A and B are shown apart, each in its own frame.
Chain A
Amino acid sequence: MELKNLATRIYRPIIPEVEGRNMVLAGLVIVTIVILMAIFADLIAPYDPTKFAGKPLSPPSLNNPMGTDNLGRDILSRVIHGSRVVLLVVFAASMVSMSIGVPIGLISGFFGGKLDRAISMIMDSMYAFPSLILAIAIAAVLGPSVLNAVVAISVVYVPTYFRMIRGQTLSLKSRLFVEAARAAGAGNFRIMRKYIFPNLVTTVIVVFSLSVADAILTEAGLSFLGFIVTAPTPDWGFDLSSGRPYLPSGYWWMITFPGFMVMLLALGFALIGEGLSELYAPRRER
C-alpha cells in the first residue's frame, strides 16, 4: 500500500458526512410517504380495503395494481390502509417507553448507588430477554387488541432507552460544566434538567429512530402471529399471514406487497437513526 493511501486511510473520517446526511434524507422521504399514506388512506386507496373489489386471487392488473386476495379484496387498498395500525401502535408504544425509560435512566445514572444497581440489573435482565417472546407473553395474557399491543411493545423497549440514557448521564455528570453548575449552587434536579438533559436530546432522537425501526418489526411479528388485529382489519403483518396458505400455489402477490412495506418502513427509520448517529456520534466510537 502506498504512503498516500495510508495517509488518507488514517486521516479521512471513516464515514463522509455527506453520506450521513443522505441517509437521513432518504429515511425521511420514506417515512413521510408512509405517514401521508396513512393520513390520506381514504382518499388514495382505490377501493374499500374490506370489500370485494374483483375476482378473488387475480394477479396484478390495471384494475387491481397489486392483485386481489382470496376474498377478492384489493391488495393495494389494503396495503395503503395497513399503514395505519402499525404507525399508531409503534408511535404510541415508543412514546410510552421513551417517557418511562428516559427519566428512569437519567435519575438512575445521576444518583448512582444501590438504587441504580438494582434498576440496572432489572433493565439488563429484561434487555437480555428476546423482545418478541416477551411481547408475545404479554400480548397472550392481555388478549389480542391494538391497545394491548401498545402495552406489550412499550414494555419491551423501556430498557433500550434506559441503558442509553443512563450511560450518557454517567459520562456527562462528571464533566466540568456540571461541576461548575454545582459550584454555582445549582441543585440536583436543576442540574439534571438544565445541564444534563439538553445534552441527551440527540441521543434520545437517535435511540427513538432506531428503536422505532425495531418496534415496527416487532409489531409486524406480533400481528403476523395474530396478536394485534382480527379480520377484516388491514395490517401488513396480519395480511402477510393470511397470504401464507396461498404461497404453495404460487399466488406471489398476496405476500410480496405487505411484507415489502414492513421492510420499507423499518428501513426508513433505520436510515434516519443510522444517519443521525453518524452525524452526531463522537468520532471515536465508530
Chain B
Amino acid sequence: MASLKAYIATRALMVLPTVIILLTLVFFILRILPGDPIASLVGQKVPPEVLEKLREEAGLNKPIIVQYGEYLYNIFHGDFGRSMIWGKRPVISEIMDRFPATVELTIFGFIFSVLIGIITGSIAAFRRGSKLDASMRVYSIIAYSLFIPWFGMVLQMIFGVYLQAFPIGGRISPGVEPEKITGLYVLDSLISLNFEALSSSFLHLLLPSITLGIVLSGAYTRLVRNNLIDVLSQDYITAYRSRGVKNSKIAIHAMKNAFIPVITLMGLQFAILLAGAVLTETTFSWPGMGTFLLERIQYRDYTSVQGAIVFYALFVALISLVVDVIYALIDPRIRY
C-alpha cells in the first residue's frame, strides 16, 4: 500500500511541470505569436488610443517576461482576471456558469461511448471472423470519421424536425430550470425531485450526448474487441472450457481482464471528448465552455478567451492525473 501512496504522490507532483508547460504554451500562443492579440481580436478599424487602453486593461503593455510572471502568479492564485465586456465580471465566475453544462454533456457522451464500444466490441470478439465482426469493424472506422456537426444535424433533422421527438437545441425548456445545487441539471432535478426539470433536461441532453458518444465509440469498439480476443486465447480460458465452465461465465471472466487497457484509452480519449464537445455544443446551442470560448472570441473579450483556454488546460491536466490514479488502483503492477 505504501508504494501506491508513493505512486500517487509522485504522479501528483508530475502534474506541475505539465501544467506549467501547457500554461506556457497558451501564453506563447496568445502573446508571443506574430500579430497583436488585441488588434486581431478587436479588428483594424479601432483608433490607436482605444487599442492602447484595451492593452493596458489586459496587462499587455508591460515587458513580456513580467507579463509571464504575473500570468502564472495570477492563475496559481485562481485569479483569471475580469471579463472585458458587459458587467466586467471575474472570468472565473463566468466560466463556472458555463462549466457544469460541459461536464454534464461530456459525462453523458462518455457513458454512451463506452457502453456502445463495449457492446459492439464484445459482439465482434465473441463472433470473431463472422459477417457481424466485419460490420463492427466497418462501424468503428465510420464512427471515427463522422463529422460531429453534420452527424448532430442529421439527428436533429430526423428526431427533432421530422419526428418532433426531441428538442434540437439548448439545455432545458425555459422556465423549468431546477434549483442550482451542482449546476448539472439532471443531477439537480433528481436531488430536488423536480421531475418536470428532469425529463426536460434529459430530453435536451439525449441527442447531443448520443452524437458525441457514437463518434467516440469507434476507438472503444476496436480496443474491446482486440483485448477480448487476446484474453479469450489465453491458457486459463482454455482451462475453463476444458472443465466445462459455462460460456456466459467465461465471458464475464474474460471481459473483466479485457477492460484494464480500456481505462487507459478513457484517459487518452478525454482530450478528444473535450474537443468534440466544442463542436457538439455549437451544433446543439449548448451553453457550455465551448460556446463560451467561441462567443468570447466573437465579442473580442481577450481576458475571457485566455481564461477559458487556461481553464481547459488545467482541467486536462487534472483528468489525466485522476485517470492514472484509477489505473494504479485497479492494476497492482503500476507502482514506483
Contact = CB atoms under 8 A, between A and B. Distances in A.
Interface of A: 1, 6, 8-10, 12, 14, 19, 121-122, 124-134, 136-138, 140-143, 213, 217, 220-221, 224-225, 237, 240-241, 243-244, 247-248, 250, 252, 255-256, 258-260, 262-263, 266-267, 270-271, 274, 286
A129 B150 contact: no
B241 A248 contact: no
B210 interface: no
Given A1-B241, A6-B238, A241-B149, A143 B297 contact: no
Contact of A131 (B18, B146, B275, B313): B275
Contacts of A217: 145, 147-148
A267 B151 CA distance: 14
A133 B312 contact: yes
A236 to B, nearest CB: 8
Nearest to A213: B145
Given A14-B226, A247-B161, A248-B161, A129 B30 contact: no
Contacts of A121: 17-18, 21
Contacts of A136: 278, 293-294, 297
8 contacts: A9-B232, A125-B18, A133-B312, A142-B35, A221-B275, A259-B149, A263-B150, A274-B141
Contact of A133 (B151, B238, B275): B275
Contacts of B35: 141-143
Contacts of A286: 226
Interface in B177-219: none
A255 B274 CA distance: 24
Nearest to B285: A244
B142 interface: yes
A132 B316 CA distance: 14
Contact of A140 (B278, B297, B313): B297
Q: Main secondary structure on chain B at its contact with chain A? A: helix
A221 to B, nearest CB: 5
B41 interface: yes
Contacts of B17: 121
Tell me which of A125, A134, A270 has the highest count of chain B C-beta atoms within 10 A of its own C-beta. A125
Interface residues of B, number: 62
Contacts of B168: 247-248
Nearest to A267: B145
A124 B320 CA distance: 11
A142 B40 contact: yes
Contacts of B40: 140-143
Contact of A225 (B18, B241, B294): B294
Contacts, number: 161
Nearest to A142: B35
A259 B40 CA distance: 29
Interface in B227-276: 229, 232-233, 238, 241, 247, 271-272, 274-276
Tell me which of B37, B148, B156 has the highest count of chain A C-beta atoms within 10 A of its own C-beta. B148
A59 to B, nearest CB: 14
A125 B25 contact: yes
B118 interface: no
A101 to B, nearest CB: 16
A263 B313 CA distance: 29
B44 to A, nearest CB: 10
Contacts of A14: 226, 229
B173 interface: no
Contact of B129 (A12, A248, A260): A12
B162 to A, nearest CB: 8
B51 interface: no
Given A8-B129, A247-B157, 4 more contacts: A127-B271, A134-B29, A240-B147, A248-B160
Given A225-B282, A247-B156, A259-B153, A133 B145 contact: no
Contacts of A122: 21, 25
A259 B161 contact: no
B323 to A, nearest CB: 11
A269 B15 CA distance: 35
Contact of A9 (B128, B147, B226): B128
Contact of A138 (B29, B128, B148): B29
Contact of A141 (B25, B30, B276, B279): B30
B309 interface: yes
A241 B275 CA distance: 18
A136 B298 CA distance: 12
